[in-house]
A and B are shown apart, each in its own frame.
Chain A
Amino acid sequence: MTRNAIKDLILEIIEDIDEDADFDTLQADKPLRDQLDLDSMDFLDIVMELRKRHKLQIPEEDYPELATLDSCVNYLEPLLADA
């Protein structure tokens, strides 16, 4: 999966969680949590959705890697190389 495709995947999952999420002003290097009003339960949803869609197992200690859109892409790129 390309970096752009991974980015779209994350945004698509977030849109399922919160259909009112506004991506227009989203800064990829800033925490998603502050910009989109996401809480820790929302991040758990992202983890579950990635497991469901791509059989990805993300251990709890790696959850901080999902903090920003950029860090998500960096973390997921090698894991989704063959997807």
Chain B
Amino acid sequence: MPVSFSQAADKYDVVVIGSGLGGLTSANRLVYCGYKVLLLEYHSQLGGLATWFKRKGHIFDISLHGFPYGMVKTCKKYWNKEIMNSIVQLKDIVFDNPQFQLKTTFDRIDFTEKLNKQFRIPQSSINAFFTRVASMNFYDDQSMTTRELFEEFFPGRSDVHRLLMEPISYANGSSVDDPAITYGIVFSNFMNKGVYTFEGGTDKLIGMMTAELEKNGATICTNARVDRIITEKGIVKGVECQGRTIEAGSVVSNSGITNTIHNLTDQDAFSSEFLERANTVRVNNSSCQVYMGVKKEDKINDIGDLLFTSTTPEFDSSELRDFNTGSKTFSVYYPKTRPGHNQYTIVASMNANYSDWEKFTKEEYEKEKDALIQRTLSDLNRYFPNATERMDWLEAATPRTFNRYTLHTQGTSFGTKFEGLAISRSIFKEVGGLFHVGSVGIIMSGWLGAINYGVIVSNDVDAYMRSRD
């Protein structure tokens, strides 16, 4: 169990700020490397956006929707086999929109068949497309956009673009105007073997990670908001938290990259050239969610695990972020999600802009949240009739909610656009001992991206720490 900040020592090898999956994984890798590690989380609960909350017997997962098969190997290597063994496949991914309806296992074999039989795309074009996206690397030329990639292989086929893009937009907030390589890398990860989830839910996963981390010797404090990263002559010296100074050789910030640079660190610590580059980093969009708990005596028949739905006639990447978007995903949680916990819940997710929500007064805000819930229920009726009467809990989250719990600039739920990756990875070359881990650059996003990035960054930390010895 996390301890109170008053129990933390005055000096550590490494302080990790924030306990998202990237922060947790960095901390775990660094204790494995032999460092004395302190993890400080501002919230009362660990996990960052990998989180959950309980209402009236229901447990709502915020970001469990589905991750690629790569999580199996990643959890085995960087956490433990018990965590790995809880990963299970979601086999029914549903698409329903005015352009097409289908059900898929979301892997290359099934997508190929659907594209060929239902969409009438020649086999050779499908193979060429898959080969192209599978060969993409993050260091490749990034001048081609995903829109151009789609047009090259499936010209004028808005329906195919929708099938290929919509799930990825929900997974990482990207659009057809982002670099094609970010699309190719993420899409190929999913196409490897389909979509997976964590049996037992987010609470179980974070509980298991916390136990592993503590077993390995890390000190974890919740309700401990770091006010400042202390630097001296361009080198990290520690952090300031609740009026105390904690000395550290390195600080890994799992706060947002823009928060890390602008809110946590003295601006004098950076060169003007670096700050200029950092200022060009665009944060990604945020999300809205509606959490719906089904009454105890009722149940949801098998309507699919993850539903990509839309009432918008033609696919339009920017429409997904519109305030009144007709596009949303429904993540359906059956009792199989949490064996022994006999509850059905549905979480609807939409992409959203912070700017659309920040302007409301308190009254307007509550009214708009209610309207969002009503729009969602009305869409859900198509799959779960009389949805309103069958629920005993309804609640909405907006970009403001995401901002409140994560402190992320503009409540971003997907980190930054591509340029954020280079800034994140080079920050320690600017300020010795200062590292950033967290969703950046689209590809280092989602549960798998965040965990793997935590490993990549802890390698940088280890190299830096040993170079000082």
Where the two chains meet, the residues of A that have a C-beta atom closer than 8 Å to any C-beta of B are 17, 41, 44-45, 47-48, 51-52, 55, 57
Contact = CB atoms under 8 A, between A and B. Distances in A.
Contacts of A47: 459
B77 A44 contact: no
B466 A55 contact: yes
B349 interface: no
Interface string B429-469: 00000000000000000000000100110110011001100
B74 interface: yes
A30 B115 CA distance: 36
Q: How large is the interface on B (under 10, 10 to 19, 20 to 34, 35 or more residues)?
A: 10 to 19
A41 B456 CA distance: 8
B33 A52 contact: yes
Contacts of A44: 455-456, 459
A44 B74 CA distance: 12
Given A17-B77, A41-B455, A48 B33 contact: yes
Interface of B is mostly: helix
B224 to A, nearest CB: 28
Interface string B6-40: 00000000000000000000000100011000000
A51 B455 contact: no
A25 to B, nearest CB: 21
B466 A51 contact: yes
Contact of A41 (B452, B458, B466, B467): B452
A48 to B, nearest CB: 5
A16 to B, nearest CB: 9
A57 B456 contact: no
A44 B458 CA distance: 10
A57 B77 CA distance: 21
A48 B466 contact: no
Given A51-B462, A55-B466, A45 B33 contact: no
A55 B463 CA distance: 9
Nearest to A47: B459
A44 B452 CA distance: 10
Contacts of B455: 41, 44-45
Nearest to B29: A48
Contact of A57 (B29, B33, B452, B467): B467
Nearest to B33: A52
Most chain-B Cβ atoms within 10 A of its Cβ — which of A48, A51, A52, A57? Answer: A48
A-B interface, 8 closest residue pairs, ranked by CB to CB distance from nearest: A48-B459, A44-B459, A41-B452, A57-B463, A52-B33, A51-B462, A48-B462, A44-B456
Interface string B350-391: 000000000000000000000000000000000000000000
A51 B33 CA distance: 9
A51 B456 CA distance: 14
Contacts of B74: 41
A48 B460 CA distance: 9
Nearest to A52: B33
Contacts of A51: 462-463, 466
Contacts of B467: 57
7 contacts: A41-B77, A44-B455, A44-B459, A48-B33, A51-B466, A52-B462, A55-B466
Contacts of B462: 48, 51-52
A47 B29 CA distance: 13
Nearest to B137: A40
A51 B455 CA distance: 14
Contacts of A55: 466
Contacts of B452: 41
Given A41-B456, A48-B33, 15 more contacts: A17-B77, A41-B452, A41-B455, A44-B456, A44-B459, A45-B77, A45-B455, A47-B459, A48-B458, A48-B459, A48-B462, A51-B462, A52-B462, A55-B466, A57-B463
A53 B77 CA distance: 18
A5 to B, nearest CB: 23
Interface string B231-247: 00000000000000000
Contacts of A17: 77
A52 B178 CA distance: 38
A51 B458 CA distance: 12
